[in-house]
Amino acid sequence: MRSASTIRRAAYVTAAVASLSLINAPTASANWSSYITSWTDGDESRRWEDQGSYSQVQFRDCFAQYATTQAVTLTERVDISLSPDKTLDSKTFTNCFNGTNSWSNGEWTDVPSGTNTLYFRADKVGNGGSCCLLFVSEVYVDTSQAD
């Protein structure tokens, strides 16, 4: 009969392997939604594939723990293999900090034409300088300007 510690270890290994498959999942090529927990300056979203020249990121219900300024500045980036990534415009989100039904919206129309792998990065959470932790109840990424 197996001991409880052996069964626990097997469960941890299974969970770790499952987590790795999510982290290393291929890029998605459609609209998607998620949430953010405990981000600080420099943290990045998952990558997604986009074939247009437009991208939109929306946050709902934000909180910057330890911050005196409730805001987050994002940049959208183009992931370029074996080269530095291309940085697009920055957007500062503040409205999503005004309550559970408040949204902030960032639209990027400077995405290079063609197929790109995109992601966004938190460049400044709250006061900046890695002081603060960002929590967002809902993140929505829209890859089509037609919506």
Please say whether the beta carbons of 39 and 111 come within 8 A: no
Counted domains in the chain: 1
**Residue 61 domain-assigned?**
yes
CATH, residue 81: 2.60.120.260
E strand intervals along the chain: 32-39, 48-50, 55-65, 72-78, 86-93, 103-108, 116-125, 133-142
Q: Which domain holds residue 128?
A: 27-142
Going edge to edge, which strands form the sheet with 116-125? 48-50, 116-125, 72-78, 86-93
**Residue 73 domain-assigned?**
yes
**Residue 22 domain-assigned?**
no
**Residue 16 domain-assigned?**
no
pTM for the whole structure? 0.78
**Residue 120 domain-assigned?**
yes
For 63-116, the pLDDT digits (tens) are 999 999 999 999 999 999 999 999 999 999 999 999 999 999 999 998 998 899
Locate 139 and state its tokens: 């993140």
Of the candidates 81, 89, 80, 84, which has an alpha carbon nearest to the alpha carbon of residue 121? 89
**Residue 6 domain-assigned?**
no
**Residue 38 domain-assigned?**
yes
**Residue 13 domain-assigned?**
no
For 5-58, the pLDDT digits (tens) are 544 454 444 444 443 333 344 454 569 999 999 999 999 999 999 888 889 999
For 108-138, the pLDDT digits (tens) are 998 998 899 999 999 999 999 999 999 999 9
Distances (CA, A) of 131 to 65, 68, 110: 9, 10, 30
Distances (CA, A) of 145 to 14, 109, 115: 40, 9, 15
